[in-house]
Amino acid sequence: MVKSHVSVEEQAMANSTIGERLAYNDYTTIDWLHDLVKDSYRLRTIHDKKSIRGKAIAAFDSSSGWIAAAVIGALTACVAYIVDICAATVSDWKLGHCTSNPFLTREACCSSQTSISEPPITECELFKPWGSSYVASFSIYVAFALLFGITSASLTMLTKGELPSAGSPDAKDEDGVEKTAPAGKIMYMAAGSGIPEIKTILGGFVIPDFLSLKVLLVKAAGAVFAVSTGMCLGKEGPFVHISTCMGYLVASLFPKYRDNGRKMREMLSAACAAGLSVAFGAPIGGVLFSYEEISTYFPRKVLWRAFLCSAVAAMVLKGLNPTGTGKLVLFETNYGTSYGAVHYLVFVVLGIAGGIFGGVFCKLNFLWGKSFRKYAIIKNYPVFEVFLIVLATALLQYPNPLIREPGDMIIKNLLVDCKTEDSAESWVCQNEARTDGNWEYIGWLAYGTLAKLALTIITFGIKVPSGVIIPALDAGALFGRLLGQWVGGISPGIFAMVGAAAFLAGVSRMTISLCVIMFELTGELEYVIPHMIAILVAKWVADALGKEGVYDLAQNVLGHPFLDLDHSMGYIQLEDVLVEELLPPQHTMEQITIHVPASNKVRRELLEEKLVQLESRGLMDAGLVLVQNGQMLQGYLAEGELEFGLRELGKLYPADAEVRLLGDAEEGEFDLSSFVDRTPMVVCAKAPMEYAVEMFGKLGLRHLMVTEEGTGKLIGVIIKKRLVAYLDALKHRG
């Protein structure tokens, strides 16, 4: 007996037409339909038991998704609390230290001084700057920023991994000879926001070790130091990655999710909501963000569990109180004034500016990733790139008092309402109250907007944990506050708030979720309509400059396979093509076709030869098609199952044994028929290409058989990666 690598449910499926299936390989696609049927076998097994124990097991199984969602939310909030506290403290070390407790933030240090002094002291004496002169403070600021940047990048290097190439199959050189499998690509699992990779995973692909405990820990620690550098990045994207890692680790404790790729992705979609919930204190916005921006498959039950996961995360974070305010709202505002019809024009202008900013940012960041990061010294030494960008950021940002502090503090300062009593000490309000002219202040606002645009372009994509949400909000708030200087009768902070939303909409193309996030972020329900106007205009303008948002372009730069159904259908509808356009070349079909004789058995040597050919192509999603009686389709045998059958089960059989692929096996036969999918999905070669795109996108197929019109004979096989490569070529051609 050879121990099987499959679950009990898979073994139960061995005698069905679905076929037994092994765990998914690296960078392969999951089979959504197969996993759906697999879960049905599991449910029937559980609910067949009529005893009290069986009913208890069924009840626990039904509630396990809710339990997992609640645990994920609570643990995500705990990690977010630690990261928030550490990032705030470490970031302030660039400016000075608290003499009473070096682990206190500047704000907490000054608050403790005020509480023990009678009467309160207006100037914070407990927080001491490192240098007494501007040059000394500047130098120490830069030195600490470089130290934090190198630390974050060095931690990120610990998550280096190699993935198989996702290149197009059936590639040939100039002489028509098939190329060998392309070399795998290097990937740093903890780098960037993680959202492009999560979208790839939720779209049905497998990225090994991306959601491991090691990556979670490195991501959290790296985010602390990355944010503390002052670079144009945020921890909101990394929080989504951290919550998804937590979702994977918790869900893996339940066999229901661990052994089923489809079910696991349901829980990962719910976990994503917790990430944004703790990042912004926006539980509803987090749910909508997961639905609108990240998830491919989001049925109603996932919505409910995402709602619970996000709510629990918000409740636990509120209880832990990392901000010290006892509130979830990060940037609470109360402007006390309303807007008039004339201000709608200003909101439209902010939307246009946000769309232009987002479109320009996406194009330039894409070109930067394709050009600058291709240089050998940058590609081979990513820590050096981080060093250069931290240095450039510190030199450009420190002279400007508006952008010297961390990104979330920049937004908080720019959203201030100068009509309130507690705003007297605000540097922004002091400059706006000047009667001798504030052109220097206006210059700082303009300088800050341009600096944020330039620095965010070169920063997004470096090898540290980083997100793009906070920098986009910063740039929008700077521009909105700048525009507000010429609009009378209303607080400039309102335009900073709406401008922040417009700029982020232009970068990410978020709409409904962003509007809700801004409401939860500021507590200003009255300004929902201005946000809606600016966000819609920003999206329209940005889409006119380029259809893809920053996360879609990041997937292209990183080379992750992803079937974007919305964008893909737009390209296909402009082309008059049929499914036969995707048929593999004749030599490829010869390599992957097995003509099964009437005995339903083939020589082992033939299968060994076919397996070597499949492996040489570097496509672990590939497989063999089984035909009989003149190319009539009989089944599909994936590479992973073929390899396991020959290399593991085959140890018990001689090298010249015949292998059964179809029919009922007899005692002692080398039988691989249980691995054969006898019911693969089929489409006619003359069907419109839209059929294939919809079938892959909506059904989550790994492969699609193509038959000849009229005869029903098999003439081709399409795997998901081949369709993705074809769509990418269409997109770049367009």
Q: What domains can you pick out in the chain, each with its CATH number?
A: 65-163+185-320 (1.10.3080.10), 343-562 (1.10.3080.10), 567-733 (3.10.580.10)
**pLDDT at residue 174, rounded to an integer:** 38
Would you tell me how many other CB atoms lie within 10 Å of the CB of residue 333?
21
Residue 586 confidence (pLDDT): 87
Ranges under pLDDT 70 in the chain: 1-27, 48-49, 112-123, 164-184, 421-422, 618-620, 734
Q: What is the per-residue pLDDT for 13?
A: 55
Give the sheet arrangement for strand 703-707, strand by strand: 682-684, 703-707, 714-719
**DSSP tag of 466:** -
Taking the C-alpha atoms of residue 606 and residue 179, their distance in angstroms, rounded to an integer, is: 22
Measured in residues, the chain has a length of: 734
Give the span between the Cα atoms of 206 and 554, in whole angstroms. 18
Element (H, E) at 256: helix 255-258
CA–CA distance, 104 with 126 (Å, rounded to integer)? 11
Cα 310 → chain centroid: 17
Q: For residues 346 and 130, what is the distance between their CA atoms, to the nearest angstrom?
A: 43
Rounded Cα distance, 206 and 24, in Å = 7
pLDDT at 574 (0 to 100): 82
Percent of the chain that is helix, strand, coil (3-state, to 5): 60, 10, 35
Q: Is residue 222 a contact partner of residue 156, using CB atoms and an 8 Å limit?
A: yes
Residue with tokens 């999710």: 257
Does residue 97 sit in helix, strand or coil?
strand
* CA nearest to 201, candidates 566, 555, 730: 555
pTM: 0.87
Contact 351, 511 (CB under 8 A): no
pLDDT at residue 619, as a whole number: 62
Q: Read off the amino acid at residue 367.
A: L
What string of H, E and C letters represents the secondary structure of 313-329? HHHHHHHHCCCCCCCCC
Q: Which two tokens stand for residue 342?
A: 């004339």
Please give the C-alpha separations between residue 452 and each of 225, 402, 404, 510, 534, in angstroms, as whole numbers. 19, 11, 11, 20, 20
Phi, psi for residue 697 in degrees, rounded to 5: -75, -45
Please, are residues 431 and 438 in contact by the beta-carbon 8 Å criterion?
Answer: yes
CA-CA-CA-CA torsion sign (482, 486, 492, 496): negative
pLDDT of residue 704: 92
The reported pLDDT for the residue numbered 171 is 46
Q: How far apart are CA 679 and CA 673, in angstroms?
A: 13
DSSP H/E element including 683 = strand 682-684
- Least Cα distance to 185 among 167, 165, 200 occurs for 165
Burial 664-690 (b: 16+ CB within 10 A, else e): eeeeeebbbbbbbbeebeebbbebbbb
Rounded Cα distance, 326 and 322, in Å: 8
Backbone Cα Rg of the chain:
29
Nearest to 30 by CA among 277, 189, 386, 268: 268
